[in-house]
Amino acid sequence: MGMIEIYDTTLRDGTQAEEISFTLEDKLRIAGELDRMGIHYIEGGYPGSNPKDALFFEEVRKSPLKFSKPVAFGMTRRVGARVETDPIIASLLSAETEVVAVVGKSWELHVTEALRTDLEENLKAIADSVSFLKKQGKKVFYDAEHFFDGYRDNPEYCLKTVKVAAEAGADRIILCDTNGGSLPSCVAELTSRVKSEIKVPLGIHAHNDSELAVANSLAAVEAGAVQVQGTINGYGERCGNANLISIIPGLMLKMGLQAIDPAHLKGLRELARVVNELANLPDNKRQAFVGDSAFAHKGGMHVSAVARNPKCYEHIDPELVGNHRRVLVSDLSGRSNILYKAEEFGIDIQSKDPAVKEILERLKLMEHQGFQYEGAEASFELLMKRAMGSLPQFFELLGFRVIDEKSEDVQVPVFEETTSEATIMVRVDNQVEHTAAKGNGPVNAIDNALRKALEKFYPELGEVSLLDYKVRVLPKGKGTGSMVRVLIESGDHKDKWGTVGVSFNIVEASWQALSDSVIYKLLKERQA
């Protein structure tokens, strides 16, 4: 088998997902990223459905893609209409793309219930649409919608629909698991059956309603399909489409097939993140191949084995897809976790050093108290350096006080009615600084006061921003008297880092995380 074609439909099928709406600029940016990755086909949209999709094709004509071929998507002609005057067919031609995709009905249920026509008229619509577009010089991909459901219901008619498309000149026949309910064994069997019946190259378009879209896509390729359709990160209607971020390495690293330039595999993680950013969705840390947790190791036995040979607990080298190995620290950690993290942080420590045991014991104690370092590696690095006595004292807290004031009670909340003010006293090099600052809540007030006190000594703190703040109630105590864990993500123009604090008092827990964030920034600057 030669090259497997990758067909991306993020800009059309992906936008049908709940909570996703790309602007024209977003779509053009994503198309550019896909083009750089060497994706063969990019389905830009349905030009007959909305002005945004029509404008996309106009912009692509002005600034053509370097590698990828844009594809305009549409339907077969309307029931009873003439293909020459059909507005949907006309919109496909107006996109002026070399390749067009036409979807038609394969399932008798849809012919009679959705189109409300007879089976023969549906076959004529498929034949008319494909042959007309071929006469216009187009490369035509025919999407056999609901193929697998249709075959189960009426095999003879379902096969007729794809044979008619093939006879009309379709360049690819795409078998669609539109409802996402098929199993890999079924997809493989029917793909093989169709391949024996028609000579036109086949493709697969799978949805993820049974969480089998990737498996079904790979099964279809094993059975002879030469094109795989899907979306970046599996975006799509309902439970989504087949995830190309998993399919591409599956094809190349697992099946030994060529899909994109091997040099571009390393861009998969970045591509997944860029598209998430443009969709305004958080990265899925447990996403296969590219997620933060995809190659994260926590158990001490696992870490020890991975340190000797990564193949023990990693199915591929994470760097092949642009990812990296991570070792987590928790109360499940052993010496190997500590030594691995020490090397990662650039800390010189030997396995028999008493500090390793002390760090391990302190870690288990802190986790027992509610601390969690998996999302707060900056705080763990500071914990290690404190245990080794190698952490400089950048400042000493002499005390702080926070005052919250609410002027009146109102039925409709008014944010300005509550004010917070913090005063703080710190010592830096025997010089005491006593400052006050206001903020939007007590944590923001303490943050502002601490920065105000320290920036005259450490102006680099002006670069630090608080990016995220999370509070988790721990299962200790009851109600408002429970212990809380605060996780803070901070960043500057180069890096991001996480810190943690735990206390029965949310302000104290926030102070722990805030002060660790400041100390980590200062430490990082000294090590640069």
Q: Model confidence over 195-224: pLDDT tens digits?
A: 999 999 999 999 999 999 999 999 999 999
Strands (E), 131-226: 139-145, 172-177, 202-206
d(CA 352, CA 302): 20
Share of the chain above pLDDT 90, in %: 68
In the numeric block, the tokens 């680099």 are attached to 460
Within 10 angstroms of residue 431's Cβ, the number of other Cβ atoms is: 9
* CA 212/CA 230 separation, integer angstroms: 13
Distance (Å, whole) CA 324 – CA 499: 21
Whether 397-457 and 5-260 are alike in CATH topology: the answer is no
* DSSP line for 451-485: HHHHTTT-GGGGG-EEEEEEEEE-SSS-GGGS-EE
Torsions phi, psi for 505 (to 5 deg): -105, 120
Over range 408-433, report the average pLDDT: 80
User: Which fold, 5-260?
Assistant: TIM Barrel (3.20.20)
Q: What is the pLDDT of residue 74?
A: 96
The more confidently predicted of residues 177 and 329 is 177
Reading the block at residue 206, the tokens are 């799978």
Phi, psi of 334 (to 5 degrees): -120, -175
Report pLDDT digits (tens) over 334-388: 566 666 666 666 667 776 777 777 777 777 777 777 787 767 888 988 988 888 8
Least confident of 58-72, 100-114, 263-277, 481-495: 481-495
The residue to which tokens 């036995």 are assigned: 301
**Distance of alpha carbon 52 from alpha carbon 50, whole angstroms:** 6
Closest by CA position to 129, among listed 96, 148, 105? 105
Mean pLDDT over residues 111-131, rounded? 93
Domain 354-394+462-528 has CATH 3.40.50.880: no
Provide the token pair at 340: 């691995």
Task: Output the pLDDT for position 305.
Answer: 79
Summarize the confidence of residues 290-306 as an average pLDDT. 79
- Strand arrangement, sheet containing 496-503: 465-473, 484-491, 496-503
Chain-centroid distance, C-alpha 109: 36
Residues 6+ apart with CB under 8 A from 64: none
Residue 448 contacts residue 440 (beta carbons within 8 Å): no
Q: Report the distance separating Cα 63 and Cα 27, nearest Å.
A: 13
pLDDT in tens, 393-413: 999 999 999 998 876 666 555
Domain boundaries, the chain: 5-260, 354-394+462-528, 397-457
pLDDT at 34 over 60: yes
169-180 per-residue burial string, b: 16 or more CB within 10 A, e: under 16: bbbbbbbbbbeb
Q: What is the mean pLDDT of residues 478-506?
A: 87
CA dihedral (301, 302, 305, 307) in degrees, to 10, reads -110
Smallest CA-to-CA distance from 166 within 133, 192, 128, 199 is with 199
Across residues 42-60, what is the average pLDDT?
Answer: 91
Q: In the prediction, which pLDDT does 416 show?
A: 58
Answer yes or no: are the C-beta atoms of 490 and 517 closer than 8 Å: yes
Rounded Cα distance between 343 and 286, Å, is 25
If residue 419 lies in a helix (H) or strand (E), which one and from where to where?
A: strand 418-428
**How far is it, in rounded angstroms, from Cα 421 to Cα 133?**
70
Question: Which pLDDT band, with edges at 50, 70 and 90, does 169 fall under?
Answer: very high
Give 27: exposed, middle or buried? Use CB within 10 Å, 0-12, 13-18, 19+.
buried
What gap in Å lies between CA 112 and CA 150, rounded to an integer? 12
pLDDT the model gives residue 331? 46
What sign for the dihedral angle of Cα 222, 228, 233, 236? negative
pLDDT exceeds 80 at position 476: no
Specify the pairing of strand 396-406 against strand 326-327: unpaired
What 8-state DSSP symbol labels residue 254? I
Longest CA–CA span in the chain (Å) reads 92
Which pTM was predicted? 0.74
Q: DSSP states of 255-310 as a string?
A: S----S-GGGGGGHHHHHHHHHHHHT----TT-TTTSTTTTEE-SHHHHHHHHH-G
Bridge partners for 421 per DSSP: 403, 438
Does 478 score more than 70 pLDDT? no
The H-assigned helical ranges of 7-50 are: 24-37
219-245: pLDDT as tens digits: 999 999 999 999 999 999 999 999 999
Which pLDDT value is given to residue 128? 97
pLDDT digits (tens, 9 = 90+) for 371-382: 877 678 889 889
What is the token pair recorded at 257? 């097939």
pLDDT band, residue 298 (cuts 50/70/90): confident
Radius of gyration of the chain (CA): 29
At residue 275 the predicted structure's pLDDT band, cuts being 50, 70 and 90, is very high
> What's the pLDDT score for residue 404?
87
Residue 473 pLDDT level (bands cut at 50, 70, 90): confident
Q: Note the pLDDT of residue 417.
A: 63
The pLDDT-based confidence of 301 (bands split at 50, 70, 90) is confident
Tell me the average pLDDT of the chain: 90
Tell me what pLDDT residue 341 has: 61
Q: What is the CATH number of domain 397-457?
A: 3.30.160
Lowest mean pLDDT among 56-60, 64-68, 92-96, 468-472: 468-472
Could you tell me if 348 and 390 are in contact, meaning their C-beta atoms sit under 8 angstroms apart?
A: no
Does residue 445 register a pLDDT over 80?
Answer: yes
